[in-house]
């Protein structure tokens, strides 16, 4: 009989607690599938005294995560503490250097130190599995790394942050404030320990950098990702998007272009009729455009303890089976450096919201500056000023929202045109600009 796989878990929070429960509750099915039973033999967390609704009887508590990672009593180290720094980095590296396999859900760690850790895994023979780091329960890492090993990838994009999609969905559908929605996302265990990683787009950027590496055979480079979060999106933008036939989503997009690989994370207007616009709440969706095959879209729960534990335990099952794949799909020495495409040359349509002076000539000034940059307008709407009689301007000094949708153009042209409009003092405040993705 094969000996059980002995697992040590560092981190017993939202994800770690569910991993312990899942291994306990699904032990028989897991052992049938993996051909070997899996036992949690040791754990650690910040505080041993903390009340946890977990039965940890018979499981050793090891105070120091690095000591747990290198303990002779475990075969596989599961890191669920989070963060790209300590103690996660030292613990994972120490486990790999002692020849153990590692499973982690930590995208921050993999995006920042993935290559160094993959080298350690290669050198010492352990596995480094991180399926839960992107899309929680969605098996997107395996799909890119193994399922599509024979397919060239041109683009991978999607909704990669459950917290942001949950916030945008509830703001749009229920008219709730950003702050209220974020609080609920935290209560439900979706948000990171520091939720600014979610709402400022960094969590999506880390996930996108990992997907881009797997898709294009490049070294993970979070610094190559252009990042904008959702905190500047107002209920007014969501209403305007809806009126114009769009919905706002935080997308991560990695695409091969003639100028290199474009990696970008930003709020995006997508047509309401598109499939990505139907993805609501904490659900994530990833579309992969491969050569010679129609796009593949994977949809599923993108955050939360149970969803994430599902992928963590699947990775543990692979370790139990003795499956070991190069962490980024090929040996580290075969991964190329990322050639970053400049964001200024990004080409696409744009939504622009301006607060414009409600006087004759304003629209003409705006249109002229857009035309100077060869930007063609698909639609323009001037909202009625609050307090003005229908059919009349609200008077000197009043401001009205103007909403524009452009046809495809370059990013730098849009910003040059808006700078010229600002210089002419026909608008107040900063223009709101949201990129549009039509397919």
189 binds ligand NAP (CB under 6 A): yes
Q: Which residues pair with 251 in a beta bridge?
A: 266
192 binds ligand HSE (CB under 6 A): yes
Footprint of ligand HSE on residues 293-312 (CB under 6 A)? Answer: 302-303
13 binds ligand NAP (CB under 6 A): yes
Least distance in Å: CB of 380 to ligand NAP?
A: 41
Sign of CA dihedral 169, 174, 177, 182: negative
Cα distance between residue 367 and residue 417, in whole Å: 9
The span of 76-84, 363-371, 393-401, 407-415 binding ligand NAP (CB under 6 A) equals: 76-84
Residue 243, number of CB atoms within 10 A of its CB: 11
- State how far the alpha carbon of 400 is from the alpha carbons of 79, 303, 355, 358, in Å: 52, 40, 5, 6
268 binds ligand NAP (CB under 6 A): no
CB under 8 Å to 153, separation ≥6 — which residues?
A: 144, 215, 216, 256, 288, 289, 290, 291
191 binds ligand HSE (CB under 6 A): yes
The values of phi and psi at residue 392, to 5°, are: -125, 155
56 binds ligand NAP (CB under 6 A): no
In the complex with ligand NAP, the residue whose CB is nearer, 47 or 53, is 47
27 binds, among ligand NAP, ligand HSE, none (CB under 5 to 8 A by kind): none
Nearest to 41 by CA among 8, 68, 17, 13: 8
| Length of the chain in terms of residues written | 439
| Beta strands 260-271 and 246-257, pairing class | antiparallel
Of positions 34, 76, 80, 103, contacts ligand NAP by CB under 6 A: 80
Cα distance between residue 259 and residue 263, in whole Å: 12
The structure tokens listed for 412 are 């730098």
227 binds, among ligand HSE, ligand NAP, none (CB under 5 to 8 A by kind): none
381 binds ligand NAP (CB under 6 A): no
Q: Please report which helix (H) or strand (E) contains residue 414, including its range.
A: helix 411-423
The span of 65-73, 167-175, 190-198, 337-345 binding ligand HSE (CB under 6 A) equals: 190-198
Cα distance between residue 87 and residue 49, in whole Å: 19
Residue of minimal Cβ distance to ligand HSE: 163
Cα distance between residue 227 and residue 205, in whole Å: 7
437 binds ligand HSE (CB under 6 A): no
Least distance in Å: CB of 300 to ligand NAP?
A: 12
Footprint of ligand HSE on residues 147-166 (CB under 6 A)? Answer: 161-163
283 binds ligand HSE (CB under 6 A): no
Catalytic residues: 207
310 binds ligand NAP (CB under 6 A): no
Least distance in Å: CB of 374 to ligand HSE?
A: 39
Site for ligand NAP, rule CB under 6 A: 10-16, 44-47, 50, 65, 80-82, 87, 105-107, 132, 136, 189-190, 192-193, 303-304, 308
Site for ligand HSE, rule CB under 6 A: 136, 161-163, 190-192, 198, 203, 302-303
């Amino acid at each position: 009989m094969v000996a059980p796989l002995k697992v040590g878990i560092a981190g017993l929070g939202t994800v770690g607690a569910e991993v312990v429960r899942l291994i306990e509750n699904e032990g028989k099915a897991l052992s049938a599938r993996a051909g070997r039973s899996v036992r949690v033999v040791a754990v650690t967390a910040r505080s041993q005294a903390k009340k946890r609704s977990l039965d940890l009887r018979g499981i050793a508590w090891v105070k120091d995560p690095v000591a747990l990672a290198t303990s002779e009593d475990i075969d596989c180290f599961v890191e669920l503490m989070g963060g790209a720094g300590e103690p996660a980095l030292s613990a994972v590296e120490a486990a790999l250097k002692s020849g153990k396999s590692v499973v982690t859900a930590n995208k921050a760690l993999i995006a920042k130190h993935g290559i160094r850790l993959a080298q350690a895994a290669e050198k010492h023979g352990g596995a480094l599995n991180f399926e839960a780091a992107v899309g929680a329960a969605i098996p997107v890492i395996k799909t890119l790394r193994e399922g599509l090993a024979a397919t060239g990838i041109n683009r991978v994009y999607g909704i990669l942050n459950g917290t942001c999609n949950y916030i945008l969905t509830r703001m749009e559908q229920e008219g709730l404030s950003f702050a209220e929605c974020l609080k609920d996302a935290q209560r439900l265990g979706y948000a990171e320990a520091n939720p600014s990683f979610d709402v400022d787009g960094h969590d999506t950027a880390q996930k996108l950098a990992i997907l881009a590496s797997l898709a294009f055979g490049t070294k993970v480079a979070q610094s190559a990702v252009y990042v904008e979060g959702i905190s500047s999106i107002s209920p007014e933008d969501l209403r305007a998007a809806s009126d114009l036939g769009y919905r706002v989503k935080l997308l991560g997009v990695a695409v091969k272009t003639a100028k290199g690989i474009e990696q970008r994370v930003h709020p995006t207007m997508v047509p309401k009729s598109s499939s990505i616009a139907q993805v609501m709440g904490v659900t994530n969706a990833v579309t992969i455009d491969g050569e010679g095959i129609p796009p593949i879209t994977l949809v599923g729960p993108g955050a939360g303890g149970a969803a994430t534990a599902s992928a963590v335990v699947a990775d543990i099952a692979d370790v139990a089976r003795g499956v070991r794949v190069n962490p980024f799909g090929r040996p580290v020495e075969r991964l190329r450096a990322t050639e970053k495409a400049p964001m200024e040359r990004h080409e696409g349509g744009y939504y622009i919201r301006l607060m414009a002076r409600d006087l004759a000539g304003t629209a003409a000034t705006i249109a002229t500056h857009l035309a100077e940059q060869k930007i063609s307008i698909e639609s323009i709407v001037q909202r009625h000023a609050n307090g003005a009689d229908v059919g009349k301007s609200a008077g000197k000094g009043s401001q009205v929202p103007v909403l524009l949708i452009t046809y495809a153009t370059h990013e730098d042209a849009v910003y040059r045109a808006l700078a010229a409009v600002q210089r002419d003092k026909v608008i107040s405040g900063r223009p709101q600009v949201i990129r549009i993705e039509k397919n």
